[in-house]
A and B are shown apart, each in its own frame.
Chain A
Amino acid sequence: MPTAFLLLMSVGSNYGQVCNTSFEGNIISLEQNIPLESAVVEVIGSSKIVTSTASGYFKLEGLCPNSLIKIKISHINCPDFFTEIDLKKSLFENFYLDHKVEELSEIILVDNKLNDLSTSSQPFSLSELEKERYSDSGLAVVLEKISGVNTLSTGNKVSKPVIHGMFGSRVGIIYDGVMLENQQWGQDHAPNIDLNAFDRIRVIKGASVLKYSGSTPGGIIIIDSKAPKTIDTLYGKTIINTLSNGRGGSIISSITNSSQNGKYIKSQITIKKSGDLSSPNYLLSNTASNEKNISITGGKNFTKGNIKLFLSYFNTEIGILKSSHIGNIKDLLRVIESDSPGVINDFSYDINYPNQDNTHYTASLDYNHFFNIDKELSFKYSFQFNNRKEYDLRIGDFKNIPALDLNLSTHNVNSNYTWSNFSGEFVNGIFFEVQDNYSTPGTGVKRLIPDYLNTKLGGYFVYNSNLRKGLNFSFGLRYQYSSNDVYKFYRNSRWENENYEDLLGEYVIKEVLSQKLIRKKVVFNAFSSNVGLVKKFRDKYSLSIHHNYTERAPNIAEMFSGGLHHSLASIEYGDPFLKKERTHKVLLDFEKKNVKLNYRINPYLSYSKDYILAQPAGFEQTIRGAFPVWEYSPINSIFKGIDLDFVYQINDYIKFKNSTSWVEAKDYNSKKHLVNIPPLVVNNEIQFSSDKFKKFNAIIGSKFVNKQNLFPNNNSITSVIENGEKVEKIVDISTPPDGYNILNLNFNWGPYNFVSSNFYLGLSIDNLMNKSYRNYLNRLRFYSDEIGRNILLQIKIKY
């Protein structure tokens, strides 16, 4: 449903000769009211195609009068625009396109190119400026700018996105058309992806994009790159960041070489380094990190299609706060009762134990073929390899051996067929995926995740239609068969406690060292569907309602994990008999877009049957003391929430922005609140920019996070010796920390001409007041405060 609307300004001229009619006009950017160059105007079903000039002007000649012609207008930064013209005589018309502004555009802006996402759920996107401002941060941190998106973290460098209160397997990340497959199940497993390798980032909250996934009731994050220009040119950019907190820095550089014949090659590199971070009052020892990424994309665009090869390497090495390694629950109690971490050393760039070392390789090959202007067939093959090593504080010969060493290889083949015209679009496709997870043996620690081979097979179809002017309907279905061939070791004690003999006894293939090895095939069939209606009225309003039904097969961790989480002093077990999780979610979206005032209201409600949640399940005694046991178990959950976005252009110089999100999640039966649900978050921002200082803008922002008052009691009791007496104490892992408000400043200068390139300068100060606070959604919140003031100096050169 193109939001671009046309303004009829038809000026007639009278020729009236056979096929000598012309159709001309200007292409204008809707947001900026400036001419758009290089927009492609074509008459569907004919070879008539022209490109707009620098002044936005185009002219199609040699058209037959009294004919009904279908026009498609496309531009690199705009959604494709279709219209029908009843050409009685030569015509002049201006077209206003929803051009994405490259700098300082609004999050509230929607990018709704139909044939791109095949959903009528409107995505939220980040502007290039915002994306670059956070070029040193991880993916999740960048996305926090969007209402309804939070991060769940382990320390300060490991964070994963939470959308509408859901995370992990319930949130999909699609990069360059590939679903990111890494070991994403644990809270301390961050997505292994470098945002800087891509141009655009969009979030579809509360829905799946059925083309890619049917199992993400939280939402989906889509990261992709713009098609390169088809002219002979060499362009790129380099960003250099220096950060005061952690005395770190990063260099991000990319270069694209494109040519007239459609061939292009783009290479990109990111190198980041940071030393120990610091909170306002103390250094966070062993929080240094390194990251190095490289990607290369090459391809060719030709008239009838295009071909693309993408290769990337991602590596990150992250130190985990030294004092977060504890032995038992009494150690945890001591940490909770203490104000500062137990170990504070001098500043260092060294990464000692505990730490994580993650590597991700991707290779993908795409081929698209256009049969007609409106039919497209594509094939994609992708391969991903992920290696995750976790090093712990260990003793003896195991000191330098990772406690966890997982290798995940994924092959995916997908074929997609899209057929579209001015009234609708039909997308369907099939996919096949094989995924192998293998733990490098010899870690001397029982496998947290068993070895398995997963096979997925399925198909989808999505239909999007413009029912009438301003009314859009979408419908989609996806089916997925998945089979897991799992090899799992069970300790005999666990086996007997759980009476697994009756249920799993037949699958035992080996018995060793008080363990049993089973091999079991676990199969799931999952259907997902989306239905949506969008109504646009009076040009500036849009109202939509969506219903998404999601079936999600439990992931391997939920079914088969088993191991000790050091930082939480808890033992986690999967449940091999979990059923698929079924979620109904209804989303409303009301939006007003206008010159001065834009707002968007987005309430949602979801109900899940067999929602899989880790819950406390007693204690297990070890020689280290008693450990609380957490088991994945099904509940019926209910989530309700609302996201609000608001932008008001107060005058020519000042703009006010607000985004607010709130969510509540409960166990439907017990009415108990769910753990780790984001509290109320309010982001406010005031932007100053002026015509007088065209090359300068300033942003002052505040982020208010309320104390989460809705939380379950998962506390346990332990006895300790205090003042020479044995006393019972509550290990309060449940009570969330206080709310906080942090201020941020951001100044941007540029572009300035600098030799043959554009030069930009940015200065940002995060946590301006150097406030000490703790974050409920940080798993290491018991150990330390969040990081303090951070001054970021950014130099950006575009060439």
Chain B
Amino acid sequence: MPKNIYFKATLLSTILLFISCDKDDTPEAENEMEVFTKTVIVVTDLSDDSSETYNFEVEEHDHDHDHSVLRQTQDDDDHGDHTVIELKSNSEYKFEISFLNESDPNNIIDMTEEVIEEADDHHVFYELVGNGISYDSTSGDTFDSNSNPLNLVTKWTTTTATEVEVEAYLLHQPTSKTGNTRDDFGGATDVEIEFEAHVE
């Protein structure tokens, strides 16, 4: 065994001696295949099946020195700082969240598939500031091997008129899949976006 290592060491040293002197041609750009660049939430009003799409993405643009801006676009809204999702009181909505990698515009990757494939390692959590809205996993959601829902598809129930700030997280390897605050889940945050839910 030691002889083998030694032999490999010598062999490799000898080979490298001859090949490493030339600088290789221009390096290839790295395609970042597993990054998240965009989050999409499709909100469907369960009373009439009408739906609206909200996009959240970081626009790589020069606004301020050193700051790129989390730019959130909404189909028919003025571009405020926070995306506002308008909901009606005493109603039910379906929220479908999906994640995309658009770093190569010619090769858009749906990262939601990766999340579903590794269901045990992922979880979506919405942290709400304020009362009047509740959400739960609903039909069409994905479950992990322990039957925990991933919250990719959730049903939101509103009561009275209110304004609620929402932080949405995609968590990687959370230590727990149940909890009421971000702290309860542990793990690493893969995606974090925020929006306001206005109930009228």
A residues with CB within 8 A of B: 269, 292, 294, 296, 311-313, 323, 325-328, 330-331, 334, 342-343, 361, 363, 383, 385, 393-398, 409, 411, 434, 436, 438-439, 441-447, 450-451, 453, 485, 487, 489, 491-493, 496-497, 509-510, 512-515, 517, 519, 617-625, 629, 720-722, 724-726
Q: B101 to nearest A CB, angstroms? A: 10
**8 Å CB contact of A385 from B12, B30, B193:** B12
Q: B1-15: contact bitstring with A at CB < 8 Å (1 yes, 0 no)?
A: 010011011101100
Decide: A493 and B117 in contact? CB cutoff 8 A: no
Decide: B66 and A617 in contact? CB cutoff 8 A: yes
Residues in B15-61 with C-beta less than 8 Å from chain A: 16-17, 20-21, 23-24, 26-34, 36-39, 56-58, 60-61
| Among listed B73-81, B90-98, B148-156, B167-175, interface-contacting one | B167-175
Decide: B66 and A618 in contact? CB cutoff 8 A: yes
Decide: B10 and A311 in contact? CB cutoff 8 A: yes
In Å, the complex CA distance between A191 and B103 comes to 35
Decide: A510 and B26 in contact? CB cutoff 8 A: yes
Note all chain A residues with C-beta closer than 8 A to B56: 623
CB pairs A–B below 8 angstroms (17 shown): A292-B5, A328-B189, A342-B187, A343-B186, A393-B188, A409-B16, A442-B30, A445-B32, A447-B27, A513-B104, A618-B66, A622-B68, A623-B56, A624-B36, A721-B129, A721-B167, A724-B130
In Å, the complex CA distance between A296 and B21 comes to 25
Known contacts A294-B2, A513-B103: does B13 contact A311 (CB below 8 Å)? yes
Among residues of B, the one whose C-beta sits closest to the C-beta of A487 is: B27
Tell me if B190 is interfacial: C-beta within 8 Å of chain A.
yes
Q: A456 to nearest B CB, angstroms? A: 14
In Å, the complex CA distance between A443 and B20 comes to 21
Decide: A444 and B32 in contact? CB cutoff 8 A: yes
Decide: B12 and A444 in contact? CB cutoff 8 A: no
If over half of B's interface residues share one DSSP class (helix, strand or loop), that class is named, otherwise mixed; here it is: mixed
Note all chain A residues with C-beta closer than 8 A to B2: 269, 294
Known contacts A311-B6, A620-B67, A621-B69: does B172 contact A342 (CB below 8 Å)? no
Q: A187 to nearest B CB, angstroms? A: 20
- Inter-chain CB contacts under 8 Å: number: 194
**8 Å CB contact of B29 from A398, A434, A512, A624:** A512
**8 Å CB contact of A721 from B20, B66, B127:** B127
Known contacts A396-B114, A510-B26, A513-B104: does B70 contact A621 (CB below 8 Å)? yes
Known: A487-B27, A489-B29, A497-B62. 6 other contacts (CB 8 A): A325-B173, A342-B186, A396-B34, A497-B66, A517-B26, A519-B26
Decide: A327 and B188 in contact? CB cutoff 8 A: yes
Known contacts A294-B6, A493-B68: does B30 contact A447 (CB below 8 Å)? yes
Known contacts A441-B27, A446-B30: does B118 contact A395 (CB below 8 Å)? yes
If over half of A's interface residues share one DSSP class (helix, strand or loop), that class is named, otherwise mixed; here it is: strand
Decide: A623 and B26 in contact? CB cutoff 8 A: no
Known contacts A363-B13, A451-B27, A513-B31: does B192 contact A328 (CB below 8 Å)? yes
Among residues of B, the one whose C-beta sits closest to the C-beta of A618 is: B66
**8 Å CB contact of B68 from A436, A446, A617, A621:** A621
Note all chain B residues with C-beta closer than 8 A to A726: 129, 165
Tell me if B191 is interfacial: C-beta within 8 Å of chain A.
yes
**8 Å CB contact of B58 from A311, A411, A436, A623:** A623
Note all chain A residues with C-beta closer than 8 A to B189: 326-328, 330-331, 624-625
Residues in B132-190 with C-beta less than 8 Å from chain A: 165, 167, 171-173, 175, 181-183, 186-190
Among residues of B, the one whose C-beta sits closest to the C-beta of A329 is: B189
Known contacts A311-B10, A385-B16: does B29 contact A515 (CB below 8 Å)? yes
Decide: B62 and A625 in contact? CB cutoff 8 A: no
Among residues of B, the one whose C-beta sits closest to the C-beta of A335 is: B186
Decide: B29 and A393 in contact? CB cutoff 8 A: no
Note all chain B residues with C-beta closer than 8 A to A436: 20-21, 23
Note all chain A residues with C-beta closer than 8 A to B10: 311, 363
Among residues of B, the one whose C-beta sits closest to the C-beta of A410 is: B20
In Å, the complex CA distance between A724 and B12 comes to 60
